[in-house]
């Protein structure tokens, strides 16, 4: 009988039990099993200490290194370790493919099917019961990768496989597509011999690691590992977001390139068989999942343990890496409305990868309302990627909001503006919800040009807006503008009010006209209208800075407010803010994009 206080040395008396366990393992759902002594992992201690000193840990490990290298039982002295391995699939039958507008992400193979922690625990519980039926006095403690011991070290000692240069245990028969678990027991089993096979001169895994996280043979910097990064919460550096690609959870690269895995695919465990729509899902729908929907769809997988935020952030990254233009409206919504700063900042990065007028417009709008410093920085960098620098607004300043009155209050807070403002000025301009323009018709017309489609809007008083993009694309923005400045309104599609505007724009874009003679109906704060008037006076073909504009209106200290006012110019081309650089207050973002801005200057400088 086994005593919890005195444990006999391995002398073969339990060889019968070992052989029964080996024979029963397949029926318990176990593909390989090995036995080892429960002696301390002395050499491992220094490796773990060095790993920690270099900052290579993930943070998910047991913090007490002594617990990681010293097998223990609560009420007995440990005598043996039992390591088990369960194989999982490496290939998917008929995987769905990404296509334009329907791009997909991917979960690592270890997340296919049912959560492997549950499967391993069930197998180890069956094994524990099997042993205790034969030796009721046995003391057994089981653990998966969340346990205190280093499962790879246990598996290597027990002969499951050798530790590869990719830090995975590689079984001679199963490859590295295996889940590992271990049991500590006071039964003195005869230990198995470790596997003597190795990687040889091969370094394919190290060479293929996307982020260089494999810093040497068997050395992993978890802080750079994509498998770890996809599980973290928070912001990710741009270099890592590019490397993540469309991975939603985990990374298989170092195992895919491993020659030891060639031709190995294990599908004899139906609980690990993947549902293609779950493990390779469409990216866009992920952004709309509620907590309940996320749990219903992914809750059975190991990828769900960190919640939906990392998965949604990684979906945003995937859309950015695919440069999916169809995702811009949803990414714009995330940037402008999502309460989670990590999602907003990542959406800004993705929009910067995708580019285009709508993305630029969203980044400009977000730069004037965002308050989180890191998100602001990511918005700025996204703007720079698209060829311009967005207005730099920080928390140390009052941040411009989306409402016209708050924008004006920000501008008025600058000292020079306050000094020049007359009593009652602020109250004189603020729009009300319903004004005396109640029921005003706003006419609109779309025209196609070499610069792309333009939407023109006019009130009975004159031309009020010129937007890049068609009416459907700009509709929400136009409605917000109308609610702010017109009050009660309704849009009417009617080309007749725009005949002269269309004619003059056509002449201008063909280089046959240098200025416009149109009746305008401008809606903005007095400060904004003052800035727009200064823009209209800039000579054709000439470039000026935002500081020049500020000095022209007598507000040299109000450069940031000038930049914001220029960004609100509702009549691009007609009021030529493409002639403004902005080097003293941030490069002026042009609503049509940098290429359109350059084209307009090229047209004006002809002849």
Is the pLDDT at 432 greater than 80, yes or no? no
Name which residue leads in pLDDT, 430 or 561.
561
Mean pLDDT, range 135-142, rounded to an integer: 94
Phi, psi of 557 (to 5 degrees): -90, -5
How far is 361 from 117, CA to CA, in rounded Å? Answer: 46
Q: pLDDT confidence of 560, banded at 50, 70, 90?
A: confident
Cα-to-chain-centroid distance, residue 217? 30
Q: pLDDT confidence of 430, banded at 50, 70, 90?
A: very low
Tokens of 91: 């290939």
Residue 111 vs residues 173, 296, 345, 523: alpha-carbon distances, Å:
22, 15, 27, 55
Please give the CATH architecture assigned to the domain spanning 323-391: Alpha Horseshoe (1.25)
Is the pLDDT at 406 greater than 60, yes or no? no
DSSP assignment letter at 578: G
Residue 431 confidence (pLDDT): 34
Residue 102 confidence (pLDDT): 93
Q: Do 323-391 and 404-604 come out as alike in CATH topology?
A: no
Q: Which residues pair with 86 in a beta bridge?
A: 179
Is the pLDDT at 323 greater than 80, yes or no? yes
pLDDT digits (tens, 9 = 90+) for 572-587: 999 998 999 865 444 5
CB neighbour burial string for 271-303, b if at least 16 within 10 angstroms, e if fewer: bbbbeeebbbbebbebbebeeeebeebbebbbb
CB neighbour burial string for 399-433, b if at least 16 within 10 angstroms, e if fewer: bbeeebeebbbbbbebeebeeeeeeeeeeebebee
How far is 586 from 492, CA to CA, in rounded Å? Answer: 37
**Is 94 an active-site residue?**
no
Angle (nearest 5°) at CA 557 between 552 and 563:
70
pLDDT digits (tens, 9 = 90+) for 258-295: 999 999 999 999 999 999 999 999 999 999 999 999 99
Task: Tell me the domain boundaries of the chain.
Answer: 1-321, 323-391, 404-604
Is the pLDDT at 5 greater than 50, yes or no? no
Annotated active-site residue in 145, 467, 521, 548: 145
Cβ neighbours of 453 (radius 10 Å): 16
Q: Which CATH number is 404-604's, of 1.10.3720.10, 1.10.10.10, 3.70.10.10, 2.30.29.30?
A: 1.10.10.10
Model pTM score: 0.65
pLDDT digits (tens, 9 = 90+) for 180-215: 999 999 999 999 999 988 999 999 999 999 999 999
């Amino acid at each position: 009988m086994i005593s919890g206080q005195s444990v006999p040395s391995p002398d073969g008396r339990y060889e019968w039990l070992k052989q029964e366990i080996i024979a029963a393992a397949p029926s318990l759902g176990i593909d390989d099993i090995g036995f080892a002594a429960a002696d301390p992992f002395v050499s491992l201690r220094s490796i773990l200490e060095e790993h920690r000193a270099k900052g290579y840990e993930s943070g998910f490990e047991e913090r007490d290194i002594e617990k990681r290298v010293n097998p223990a039982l609560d009420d007995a002295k440990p005598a043996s370790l039992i390591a088990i391995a369960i194989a999982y699939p490496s290939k998917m039958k008929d995987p769905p493919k990404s296509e334009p507008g329907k791009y997909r992400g991917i979960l690592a193979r270890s997340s296919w099917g049912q959560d492997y922690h549950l499967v391993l625990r069930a197998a180890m519980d069956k094994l524990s019961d099997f042993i205790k039926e034969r030796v009721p006095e046995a003391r057994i403690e089981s653990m998966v990768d969340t346990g205190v011991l280093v499962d790879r070290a246990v598996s290597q000692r027990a002969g499951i496989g050798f530790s590869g240069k990719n830090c995975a245990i590689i079984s001679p028969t199963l490859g590295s597509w295996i889940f590992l678990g271990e049991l500590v027991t006071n039964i003195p089993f005869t230990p198995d011999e470790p596997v003597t096979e190795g990687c040889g001169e091969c370094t394919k895994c190290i060479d293929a690691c996307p982020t260089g996280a494999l810093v040497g043979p068997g050395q992993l910097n978890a802080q750079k590992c994509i498998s770890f990064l996809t599980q973290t919460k928070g912001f990710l550096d741009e270099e890592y977001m590019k490397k993540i690609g469309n991975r939603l959870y985990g990374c298989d690269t170092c195992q895919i390139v491993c020659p030891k895995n060639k031709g190995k695919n294990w599908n004899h465990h139906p609980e690990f068989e993947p549902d293609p729509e779950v493990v390779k899902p469409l990216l866009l729908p992920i952004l709309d999942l509620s907590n309940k929907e996320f749990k219903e769809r992914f809750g059975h997988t190991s990828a769900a343990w960190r919640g939906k935020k990392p998965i949604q952030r990684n979906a945003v990254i995937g859309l950015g890496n695919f440069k999916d233009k169809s995702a811009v409206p949803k990414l714009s919504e995330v940037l402008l409305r999502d309460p989670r700063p990590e999602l907003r900042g990542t959406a800004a990065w993705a929009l910067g990868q995708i580019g285009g007028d709508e993305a630029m417009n969203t980044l400009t709008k977000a730069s004037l309302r965002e308050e989180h410093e890191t998100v602001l920085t990511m918005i700025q960098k996204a703007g720079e990627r698209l060829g311009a620098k967005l207005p730099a607004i920080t928390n140390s300043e009052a941040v411009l909001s989306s409402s016209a009155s708050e924008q004006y209050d920000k501008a008025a807070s600058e000292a020079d503006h306050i000094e020049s403002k007359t009593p009652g000025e602020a109250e004189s301009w603020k729009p009300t919800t319903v004004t005396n323009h109640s029921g005003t018709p706003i006419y609109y017309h779309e025209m196609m040009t070499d610069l792309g489609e333009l939407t023109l809007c006019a009130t009975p008083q004159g031309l009020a807006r010129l937007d890049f993009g068609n009416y459907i694309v700009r509709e929400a923005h136009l409605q917000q503008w109308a609610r702010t400045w017109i009050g009660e309104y309704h849009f009417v599609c009617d080309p007749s009010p725009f005949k002269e505007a269309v004619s003059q724009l056509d002449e201008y874009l063909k280089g046959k006209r240098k200025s416009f003679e149109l009746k305008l109906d401008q809606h903005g704060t007095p400060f904004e209208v003052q800035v727009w008037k200064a823009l209209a006076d800039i000579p054709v073909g000439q470039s000026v800075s935002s500081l020049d504009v500020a000095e022209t209106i007598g507000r040299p200290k109000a450069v940031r407010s000038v930049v914001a006012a220029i960004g609100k110019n509702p009549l691009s081309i007609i009021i030529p803010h493409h002639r403004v650089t902005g080097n003293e207050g941030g490069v002026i973002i042009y609503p049509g994009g940098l290429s359109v801005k350059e084209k307009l200057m090229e047209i004006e400088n002809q002849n």
